[in-house]
Amino acid sequence: MEPIHRALLSELGVGKFHSLSRDELCHRVAMWLDEPMFDEEGEEVRLDRRVRSAIEWLRQNDSRGAWIVSDAAWSGYWFAESIEEVKEHCRVTRNTAYTLFKRARQQVKLAEQALEEPEQLRLLA
């Protein structure tokens, strides 16, 4: 387990009311890792992708990480209070994945259809 994983496990709270926004979580992880918040030009250093990647790794590889849930409407991450909360998070994740899969399949279908109708492609040019 890497330091970023330990930082996440230490900083996340239990329950929605102890959720941390991604920005707040990135800030706390940067402090935990003793990494600068700003680069030499004064621009904010974003750990966003590293934090999201570390959360996904924990969810897949660590029994404590499997309890990390999030909710777009709630805008944050936290440890679930019950197995039902974990299951609900996973149900929503599966539904989102299914919707994205259907959308991608339909997009390919329509793009292939456009190849059969050259006048449709001319409208794009």
Q: Are residues 18 and 73 in the same domain?
A: yes
Q: How many domains does the chain have?
A: 2
Instruction: Give the structural domain span for 100.
Output: 82-125
**Residue 120: band (very low, low, confident or very high) from pLDDT cuts 50, 70, 90:** low
Q: Are residues 46 and 102 in the same domain?
A: no
Q: Are residues 99 and 52 in the same domain?
A: no
- How does the average pLDDT of the chain come out, rounded? 88
Q: Are residues 30 and 4 in the same domain?
A: yes
Q: Are residues 94 and 105 in the same domain?
A: yes
pLDDT tens digits along 40-98: 776 766 788 899 999 999 999 999 999 999 987 777 999 999 999 999 999 999 999 99
| CATH, residue 43 | 1.10.10
Query: Measuring CA to CA, how many Å separate 14 from each of 1, 57, 85?
Result: 21, 19, 11
Query: Measuring CA to CA, how many Å separate 54 from each of 13, 30, 31, 38, 58?
Result: 16, 13, 16, 21, 6
What predicted TM-score, i.e. pTM, was given to this entire model? 0.79
